[in-house]
Structure formats: C-alpha cells, structure tokens
Structure 1
Amino acid sequence: MKKLLTTICALVPLIGTVKAQEFTPTQIQQVKQVTELALDSDLSWQLLESLTSEVGPRLPGSENDKKAVEWAKQQFEQLGFDKVWLEPATFPNWRRYRESGTIITPSKQPLHLTALGNSIGTPKEGLTAPVVMFETLDELIAAPKGSLENKIAFVNYRMNRHIDGNGYGPAVRARNTGAIEAAKKGAIAYMMRSVSTSHHRFAHTGNSRYKDGVSKIPNTAIANPDADQIERLLNAGHAVSVNINLQTEDLGEGTSYNVIAEITGSDAPQQYVLIGGHLDSWDLGTGALDDGAGVALTMAAATHIKQIARPKRSIRVVLFAAEELGLWGAKAYFKQHADKLDNIVAAAESDFGADVVYGFESSVSANSLPVVRAIAEQLAPLDIKYVRANNAHGGPDLIPLRQATNAPIFALHQDGTDYFDYHHTADDTLDKVDPDKLKQNTAAYAVFAMMAANAKTTLTGKNP
C-alpha cells in the first residue's frame, strides 16, 4: 500500500504538468478574456436580429434564401474574417403556397394544419375522407393491406418533453415515412399529430419522404389541440371526416450555397476547428431558434476570438444550406472536402435553439481527453458540466462527417426542454430568444473553439 501511495504521489505532479503543457498561461488568460468579451457583447443578438428581421424566413431556394446567403457573406466580410467564400449545394426545390383544413363531421370545425416538406398538393378544392386513427407508426404499418382505401390515415403519437430532446427521434419516424406506410395500405392522404411538445394551436412542419414504387399522397401535420379534438371525437364513437387542402409545388432541382468564413491560424493554417449552424429555415416563422441563433452565435464566437488573439489553427465557420430539406448543404460540403477531412481538428454545430448550454461532451481518442478536460475546466464558470461519456454526436449537419470519418466531434448540449414547443412553427420568432442566454452560448463556443485551435495536442477522433 505504501508503495502504491508513493507511486500515485509521484504521478500527481506529472499529471498536472501534462495538463499545463497543453495551454500556456497566456493562452488561459486569453480564454478568460474571450469569455468576458462574449458575455459583455451584443454582437450575437445584433446578428440574429438582423437576420430574422431584415431577411426573415429562409426556405431553401426562395428569394429570402438568396438574400440570406448575401447577408451572411457581407456580415463575414464586415466582421473582418480572413477568407469568405461560397460553395454550391443542390437540393429538391419545394414550395408551400396555401393550406387549410376543416373537420366536416360530426360538426364543421376549423383544423389547424400545415403541409410537411416535400408533400404533394391536393386538388384545388382539397380532398375529403374519413379518418382512421393509429397511436403509433408501427400500428399503421401493421394495418392490413387495403384497409385504408379512400381514407385518411392519422398517426396520433405524442412526443415526450426532455432537456435533451430525446423524444424527437421516435416521434419524427412518423413524419419521415408515415405517408409511405399509409399509401401502402390504400390511404388517399396522411395526417399526423405535430412532432411537438406544445399545447398551443400551431402546426409543426418538417421534412418528409416518398418512396419509389409507392403512390405519393398529401402529407400533413395538425396542431396538437386539434389532434386531441379528433381523438376525443373518435373515442366517443363518432365517424370523423376531414377536408385537407394543400397547395404545394415541386420545382425540381434548386441551388443554394454554403457560406464559409475563416480565421487563418498562425502555426497550422491547414488544420481547422469547424463551428456553425444552418442558414436556411422553414417558411412559417422567421427561423430565430432554428437556426438563426446557431448562425449568429457561431459567427460572433469566432469574431470574439479574432478580437483577442489569432489562434494557432484556423477557425472555420460554416453556415450550411438546405438543412431542413435533407442536410443537402452538409452533404455537399463534406463531399467537396472529402480528401481533407483529416484537417478538421474539432467540429461542433449549434442547432438546438438558444437556451443555455448545460453540458459539454466529446467524441475523441483517448490521448485527446486531457485537452477535453482542460476545455471543460474553462467552461465550468459558465455553469456547463463535463459529460464524460465521450459519445457526442454533434448537430445534424455533422452527420455526413461522422459517416465519412472518425473526426473529433463535440456537443455543447443546450437545454431543449421547451425547444419543441416552437420548433418548425409560425411561433419560431425573435421574441423567443433570451439575449443573456444567447451570450452564454456565444461564450461557450468561443472558449471551445479557441482552446481546440490552440491545444498543443492535435485533437483526433475515436478509433473506429
């Protein structure tokens, strides 16, 4: 036992020395300075206010999407980034024009609904049919073939509320493939409870898919109170029929642009930390939470780093295009840079609203963990806890990166308890963002990006 204690005591100063070697005292002081600057600055709020007010909603391929690309390019240039450029991304160009719904029987009542992304339209007069309710997508899948002929399939799955949004994945299955499964059973339209934790009477949109060889049918989500109303009527024994009217259009292939800006590193400029969000949004609100906040705070975080000191490695802010319609900007970016993905020393995306960052998690190799712990120590004063699982997934636009390589991925976990009250609705507007919480997010990304760029050890991903 005495020998063991002697060994441990001998290792303690060594561990401290290894940790200290990752960052110099000057670098740690710069981290504290960038934290103070970000917490005191209104830059992230100013950028978000400008994007959501002067541009507004940014559906991929729309005129506002084009304005957003130009807005981002000009903002990066005015903020003094060393390099600013655009990279094209193509995507299926879809438009929503008009939409409405009505419960026809047992009594006429308005139905608050919205077309899901990529949905085909109905005839101009809409379509009317009886509703058949299913509690889950799996129940719909299990329905007999032909059992929904000339009917509307309705999946009434309820999403649970949680700080990390873990109810989203199970709920979104019904949004992604519900119309496919309904059409297989003969349905003429598909309707679902919104993927939402809200009790407000807003319908939540989101992307959906069709499948070759399966008939395309109109695809819609209804507000949760309206889903409750239909459920009550059906449970009371009433035959419920509804009219759905969706006027949409498939415009073929569209083109938008990833907007990219870089602060060039002083020592290893070819290596870079990637941070960012997606520039596009749905057309119902102004995209403040999804994902204007992520755009603004990562732009501001990189700017604040530049204001304090030039990092050793480059910091690249990528504002991805056409995320809402299927990660098209991200797919294009990581395909174009496929032969140089090893240059990414850390990657994190902000795409979960604007509530506080409460946790910091990595997905890195074992020899990178001392750097991660050092970053976590500097994030702690922001009330951010270190999540030691080392299993971070990052944001949606990092999915193609994770699929292509074992890059070092990071998650700055935001409180998502209320996020899905507003997600993909007309209620996603600037007033839902707390400026002080946005500053905390900005500071967290500034600390993370600065330290990942300056660490003596080059961060690497987990072994496959």
Structure 2
Amino acid sequence: MRLAMLLLSACLLCACPRPALSGSGDAAALDTAASLRERALADTTAWRVVESLTTEIGPRLAGSEADARAVAWAQAKFRELGYDRVWTEPVTFPRWERRGESAQVLGAHAQPLVVTALGGSPGGTVEAEIVRFDSLEALQAAPAGSLQGRIAFVDHAMPRARDGSGYGKGGAIRSRGPSEAIRKGAVGFLMRSASTSPQRVANTGITRFDDGLEPVPAAALSLPDADQLARLLQRGPVRVRLALDCGWDGEYTSHNVIGEITGRDAPQEVVLLGAHLDSWDLGTGAIDDASGIGITMAAGHLIGQLPQRPRRTIRVVAFANEEQGLLGGREYARRHAADVANHVIAVESDFGAGRIYGFNTSGGDAPAVARIAGALAPLGIAHLPGKGGPGPDISPLAAVGGAWAWLGQDGTRYFDLHHNADDTLDKIDPADLAQNLAAYAVFAWMAAESDAGFGSAPKPANDADE
C-alpha cells in the first residue's frame, strides 16, 4: 500500500504546473505545501485514527455510553498527535435511544421486513393497512383524513449523484413525512430509505414532529423491502405490523473536543477544520464521520510536525451530536460568535472518504484563493467557483459571518453506506483517504500562511438569523 501511495504521489506532483508566485513568502509556503502533499499521500495517520475510533469505540450514538468514551478518546488522540492545546466545550441535548425494532407483512403473504426506526421516533406497535405514495408532494396532496387508521408509505427512489444532490428529497421525506402523514390521519409512517444501497439494510436519520401533533412510530425500509411492498400492493391491500421500542429519555451533556496547533505570528487567528464525532448506531460510523475525524486530526498533526509552525493557528473541532440537528456546530457558533472575525476560514469533512475533486470558498482575496487552488491542483482537485457550501457543522458559524471553504468529495457511493449497518471500516479506500488528508493539510497550511483574509466578519443579528 505504501509503494502505491508513493507512486501516486509522484504522478500527481508532476501533473500540474507550479502556480504563479507573488513573493518569497508565497514561494516558501508553496514549497512546504508540495512537501506536505508528498508526505500526506504516503502517510497512514488518518487511517490509523479512523481504525482506532471505529474499533475501540464503534458506533457512537449521541447520548450513549459510547458517546462519553468517544469524547475521552478524542482528547487522548489529540494529545497523542502532538496538539499544543486540547479542551472540551459542553453541548447539552435531549437523549434518544433505540432498543428494538421489527416489521412484518400480515395475512396471506406474511413475511418479515427489514426496517429501522427513524431517530426521534416514539416507540409503539401499530397494525394497519399501508397506503403508498411516490413522493412527499403526493402525500401532501392527499385529502385530509384519507389516511385515518392507516400507515403512510412514501416510496421515493433516490438517485446517485457525485455531489449527493439526490439526498435533498430523501432527507425531506424523512424529516417532514411523518408530520404530513399524521395530518392526514395516519397511525404510522414508513419510507423507502434515503439510500442508494442495493443491500438489505435500512438507513436511519433524524426526523421531526411539528408542534401540536401526536408523534407516531416512524421507520425506514431497506430498498429491497420497499420494492417488495410495492409489488405486494400490486396484488391487493397490504397490512403491516410495525413495532418500535425507542424514544426520548431525558437530557445528556456531551462535548465538542478541540485541538490546536498554535500559530507562530497570529495565534489569535484560526483556520478551522471540522468533522463530527458522533454517529448513528447501526454501523461503526466509518464514513460518517470517523473518516472526517481521521482526515482533520491527521492534517493538523502533519502541519504540527513541520519545522516551522503555521503563521495562524490550526484548530480542529470534533463536533458533538451532528446527527440529531447540528447541535455541536450550533453550540460552537453560539459560543464563538463574538470572535467570528478571527475565524479566518473553516472547512469540514463530513461526506465520507471518496476522492476530493473540487475546491471553492465563500470569497476572500482572489490571489490567495488562486494560490490555494494551485497548490491543490496536483491532487486532481479543480477550482469550481459557485459550487459547494459550508459543511453541516460549519453552517451555523457561516450564518454568523464566518468564511468557509469546500473540498468536494466524490459521493457517488456515499449513500450506499450513510446511516446504515454497512458503514464500517472495510468500506474506506486507504489511498482515497490519503488524498483527502493531503488536500486538507495543503489547504490548511496555505490558508494559515496567507497574509490575506477570506471575508469573515460579524453579520448583523437580523442577517445571521436568516
């Protein structure tokens, strides 16, 4: 594996011309960036971090016993990797637990179904006839009361897309579908998983119930089981038993875990790299988001090993409870809003470990952005103005004025694994992970060395709330 990485490094380093320079400082920064690229492509730190988190902690459902172990693990890992400062910041939230789940077709065609409760669903058992809809819009258009005593089944097939754009409709069904079903009189909710996996695994994820509605059991079906239900419905009415043992259980305080490589000249100015520490409980959270934790922790580590510290501080944040509503990111933005101008730029790895193909920022000094783009180009990463956006946990910081960068990963197969039991370490390609590490290390170094800013500035309160 090491030889393959070294050969890949040599090929990539020869693939693009050296970007134009504007001064001796730029030349030195670019020389260091080239060295970081070569070193990162042959480095196994990111892989070892991901292996450690997924093996020693495993699934890390927010509020679980494993959540607390993950926080302790992250603090120890930052220290092991040589970070100058390591600390935590509390994040408090309601705790949701999954204890058991099952579903069966009843009657003449009786058979089990593979389902998983949606995060936030109440427990309960319902037996009822199902009514199929091919989209959220079709469910919304159903007459009031038409689902009285029935289970709504939304059967929308999510398409593959490199940028994950197919997830928009699937995610909306998961978050808004149960409330729509309740308004029509439904006693339960089933959805085709927001997934592209051909395997018989169901995908979880958080759902919400609108104020004033009595929540009902809500679950997702594996894609083969959704297809099976659709075929059965062609033969006549289908009655299903859905049994969920899950629900909310008090409050819990977890923590954002933060490590810093202190800047040599402007330590108060921060280049922030983020990923989230929690995961859902079905797999081991390898691509979502142990890979991001490994990439960002390892990037800071490699920069910290350089002979000279970066001009600005590199801050890596392992966010708490992203999965249930960006709660760690929201708390970080609230706590640091007054210092947003010193958050020079932020970037997040939360889309698996596929190869990075695109780079963009929210703005800033054009020559500085061009120099970063030039340093990333040998990795096969194109500058794509107008593409991307802030990562999930970065978006609250962006909302109060923080500048963001986007390093777009190939998500063509991301939703084969996202939020399901197949999200395990063996799905990560070490060479792709190393390319991600190289991109994050080069980006962070170049942003930290730049004399220019990227547009971070506090937003007026009314703008930040929008």
TM-score tier, shorter chain, comes to over 0.9
In the alignment, which residue of structure 1 is the partner of 2:207? 208
* Per-residue Cα deviation, 1:157-184 (whole angstroms, up to 9, x for no partner): 1111010010111211110011111011
Which residue identity is paired with 2:448?
A: A
Q: Paired residue for 2:61?
A: 59
Q: CA deviation at 1:18?
A: 8.8
In 1, the alpha carbon distance for the partners of 2:374 and 2:150 equals 58
> Which residue of structure 2 lines up, in the alignment, with residue 334 of structure 1?
333
1:445 is matched with 440
TM-score (norm 2): 0.92
TM-score, reference length from structure 1: 0.93
Q: Does 1:409 align with 2:404?
A: yes
- CA RMSD across the alignment: 1.6
Matches within 5 A, 1:37-436: 37-122=39-124, 126-236=125-235, 238-308=236-306, 309-365=308-364, 368-389=365-386, 392-405=388-401, 407-436=402-431
SS of the residue corresponding to residue 245 of structure 1 reads strand
Could you give the per-residue CA deviations for residues 204-262 of structure 1, whole angstroms, max 9, x where no partner exists? 000000111112111100001111111112123x1101111110021122110000011
CA–CA distance in 1 between the matches of 2:335 and 2:415?
33
Deviation at 1:399, TM superposition (A): 1.6
Instruction: Using the TM superposition, give the Cα deviation of residue 458 of structure 1 relative to its aligned residue in structure 2, in angstroms.
Output: 2.1
1:274–1:344 Cα contact (<8 Å) kept: yes
Residues matched between the structures, number: 441
1-side partners of 2:432 and 2:395: how far apart?
26
Aligned to 2:393, what secondary structure does the other structure show? helix
Amino acid of the residue matched to residue 51 of structure 1? L
- Work out the percentage of aligned pairs sharing the same amino acid: 49
Deviation (angstroms), 1:91: 1.4
For 2:85 and 2:438, the matched residues in 1 are separated by 23
Q: Name the stretch that deviates more: 369-378 or 290-299.
A: 369-378
- For 1:445 and 1:205, locate their aligned partners in 2 and report how far apart those are by CA, in whole Å: 29
Alignment map for 1:22-41 (pairs within 5 Å): 23-41=25-43
Deviation at 1:64, TM superposition (A): 0.6
5+ long unaligned stretches in structure 1: 1-15
Shift of 1:408: 1.7
Query: What is the one-letter code of the residue matched to 1:137?
Result: L
Residues of 2 paired with 1:105 and 1:185: CA distance?
A: 25
Q: Verify the 8 A CA contact 1:91 1:325 in the aligned structure 2.
A: no
CA distance in structure 1 between the aligned counterparts of 2:19 and 2:34, rounded to whole angstroms: 21
How far off is 1:414 after superposition?
0.2
In 1: Cα distance, 2:239 partner to 2:221 partner: 14
2:388, 2:346 → 1: CA distance?
11
CA 1:17 to 1:128, structure 2 compared with 1: closer, same or farther past 3 Å? closer
Partner letter of residue 398 of structure 1?
I
Quote the Cα distance in structure 2 between the aligned partners of 1:222 and 1:240. Answer: 15
- Aligned residue identity for 1:385: A
In the alignment, is the contact (CA less than 8 A) between 1:19 and 1:370 conserved in 2? no
How many Å apart are 1:402 and its aligned residue? 2.1
Superposed displacement of residue 266, structure 1: 0.8
Contact 1:358 1:413 in 2 (8 A): yes
- Unaligned stretches of 5+ residues in structure 2: 1-17
Q: Distance in 1 between matches of 2:337 and 2:195?
A: 36
